[in-house]
């Protein structure tokens, strides 16, 4: 088991214990917790980022606006809010693969990606992804970037929150929006995983 996976499990156990304590002491109800989860699953989060990605894949003019000013382009789709004021999109290409990190804390574009995953906040991820990004991607995420592709690591901050515009997979021409949305993962928009496989 990798250190990142072990840390994820430890954090998940602590969260569950804290949730149980808050419910037992009457600070929060199960319904309130469920509502918070619903908000982050349906009203903010990676499904919104996926909508932006698919729009960029299918609308070259929108893609140009997104790369020029991500926050403004997202607002066109009604996506904005706290932690989304200064977003920058970096585009993956045949020759460049981008990865996002925040080496100081966990700055992250919440409106398009939702809550940051536990591993994103882990000091081991923050250190290793800057030193040996290919090795960390391979060993912790099972994702291999070809040697001929340059890897660029972007360090987010409270002034500038990066996220990745993944490449549209070949063979998806003519696909519906629903089919394309199913390909876009949060990990692909952070740069630690691929878009979904084309069937």
pLDDT band at 180 (very low <50, low <70, confident <90, very high): very high
Query: What is residue 152's DSSP assignment?
Result: E
E strand segments, 104-179: 150-155, 161-165
Whole-angstrom distance, CA of residue 164 vs CA of residue 20 = 36
The three state secondary structure string of 7-32 is HHHHHHHHHHHHHHHHHHCCCCCHHH
The answer to whether residue 1 scores a pLDDT higher than 60 is no
pLDDT band at 7 (very low <50, low <70, confident <90, very high): low
pLDDT band at 15 (very low <50, low <70, confident <90, very high): confident
Span 16-63, pLDDT tens digits: 888 888 888 888 888 887 777 766 666 667 889 999 999 999 999 999
In sequence order, the 6+-apart residues with CB closer than 8 A to the CB of 60 are none
pLDDT at 6: 58
In sequence order, the 6+-apart residues with CB closer than 8 A to the CB of 62 are 55, 56, 73, 76
Instruction: Report, as residue numbers or ranges, the catalytic residues.
Output: 102, 105-107
| Domain coordinates in residue numbering, the chain | 1-43, 46-190
pLDDT band at 72 (very low <50, low <70, confident <90, very high): very high
pTM score, whole prediction? 0.79
User: 146 near 96, Cβ under 8 Å?
Assistant: no
Residue 101: its H or E element: strand 96-101
Span 88-139, pLDDT tens digits: 999 999 999 999 999 988 788 878 888 888 899 999 999 999 999 999 999 9
CATH class label, 46-190: alpha beta
Span 154-168, pLDDT tens digits: 999 878 899 999 999
Of 106, 88, 199, which Cα lies nearest the Cα of 152? Answer: 88
């Amino acid at each position: 088991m990798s250190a990142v996976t072990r840390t994820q499990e430890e954090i998940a156990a602590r969260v569950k214990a804290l949730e149980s304590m808050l419910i037992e002491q009457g600070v929060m109800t199960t319904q309130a917790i469920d509502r918070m989860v619903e908000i982050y699953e349906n009203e903010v989060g990676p499904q919104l980022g996926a909508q932006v990605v698919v729009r960029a894949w299918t609308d070259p003019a929108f893609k140009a606006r997104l790369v020029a000013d991500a926050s403004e382009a997202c607002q066109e789709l009604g996506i904005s809010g706290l932690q989304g004021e200064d977003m920058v999109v970096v585009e993956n290409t045949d020759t460049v693969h981008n990865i996002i990190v925040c080496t100081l804390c966990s700055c992250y574009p919440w409106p398009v990606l939702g809550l940051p995953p536990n591993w994103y906040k882990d000091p081991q991820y923050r250190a290793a992804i800057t030193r040996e990004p290919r090795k960390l991607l391979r060993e912790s995420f099972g994702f291999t970037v070809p040697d001929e592709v340059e890897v660029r690591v972007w360090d987010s901050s409270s002034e500038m929150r990066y996220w990745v515009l993944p490449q549209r997979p070949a063979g998806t021409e003519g696909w519906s929006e629903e089919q394309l949305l199913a390909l876009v993962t949060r990990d692909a928009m952070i740069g630690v995983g691929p878009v979904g496989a084309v069937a």
